[in-house]
Amino acid sequence: MQVIHSVSELRARLAQEKSMAFVPTMGNLHAGHVALVQQARRQGTCVVVSIFVNPLQFGPNEDFDQYPRTLEADCAKLQGLADVVFAPSVAEMYPEQQSFYIELPPIAAELCGTHRPGHFRGMATVVLKLLNLVQPQVALFGKKDYQQLAIIRQMVTQFNLPVAIVGGETVRAEDGLALSSRNQYLTQAERTEAPQLHLTLQTVVEAIVGGVVDFTVLENEAEAALAKRGWRVEYVSIRSQHGLGKPPVGEGRLVVLAAARLGVTRLIDNLEVCL
């Protein structure tokens, strides 16, 4: 496994590769990332993982400075799984101030976009840069960031990027909490409460499967149930899996998404439902 920090070295190393599977990450790797990299490995190609905490996708009051940077431990986890780790500095990724951005469709201003203005613009911009640098045939993203994955899929389709986007299933702790680097911000008491987000989503899924069709009522009830337990809820929303719009009557492929804060920690999760 080669760890590369510069764009020129990366391009030189990958020039010989015909077929690459790419997993972009912000590091602080957990079992969810590892599962994605294993999924990439099964594509039978050269596996490239990027580790880059992208300043463009953090708002001014968000956790960019605090975000855990654990390159050595990350590389240890990737030994034997990845062929190339690309870990650039901010100056290497943005040698001049980034003044071109991806302009995003309206769906990016909903759900997490409402609460993290500019986040998806910065995310899509760095993903486009990374795809241009690595030029993989396949790129893998976790379904935990469902809206991110949907935006990337649309970007790749609409800009005709020659890469197949693959979603990886969310990996959960035994109590159901979706793995996330941000879980480590939780206090012990918050960590005990945190699986409630997943449980709430499960309750919504059960109601949908059970035939409830008034989604607004389900969303409101779920938000109220979390708020009552002390969560600061941003949203619980039932959407179409494809495109994440409000589902038309009779839509069979749904996803229930939620974002809520416990103390200072913002958690997101989602569950797909197929009727």
The contact set with ligand PAF (CB under 6 A) reads 24-26, 54, 57, 123, 126-127, 145, 148
Supply the minimum distance, in Å, between the C-beta of residue 211 and ligand PAF: 35
Supply the minimum distance, in Å, between the C-beta of residue 152 and ligand PAF: 7
Place of tokens 């038309």: 248
Supply the minimum distance, in Å, between the C-beta of residue 54 and ligand PAF: 4
Q: Please identify, using beta-carbon distances, which residue of 143 and 239 lies nearer to ligand PAF.
A: 143
Q: Please identify, using beta-carbon distances, which residue of 49 and 194 lies nearer to ligand PAF.
A: 49
Quick check: helix, strand or coil at residue 152?
helix
> Phi/psi of residue 273, each to 5°?
-130, 130
Supply the minimum distance, in Å, between the C-beta of residue 126 and ligand PAF: 5
Name the burial class of residue 240, with classes exposed (0-12), middle (13-18) and buried (19+) by CB atoms within 10 angstroms of its CB: middle
Nearby residues of 136 by Cβ (< 8 Å), 6 or more positions away: 20, 21, 22, 48, 163
Strands, sheet with 2-4, edge to edge from the N-terminal-most edge strand: 2-4, 84-86, 46-51, 20-25, 138-142, 164-168
Supply the minimum distance, in Å, between the C-beta of residue 31 and ligand PAF: 15
**How is residue 219 written in tokens?**
């969303």
Quick check: helix, strand or coil at residue 169?
coil
Q: How far is CA 227 from CA 179, 194, 259, in A?
A: 22, 13, 12
Q: Please identify, using beta-carbon distances, which residue of 122 and 247 lies nearer to ligand PAF.
A: 122
Taking the C-alpha atoms of residue 135 and residue 148, their distance in angstroms, rounded to an integer, is: 20
Q: Which amino acid is located at 212 in the chain?
A: V
- Given a contact cutoff of 8 angstroms between Cβ atoms, the answer to whether 170 and 146 are in contact is no
Q: Which residue out of 33, 115, 119, 198 is catalytically annotated?
A: 33
- Has 115 been annotated as catalytic? no
The catalytic residue positions are 33
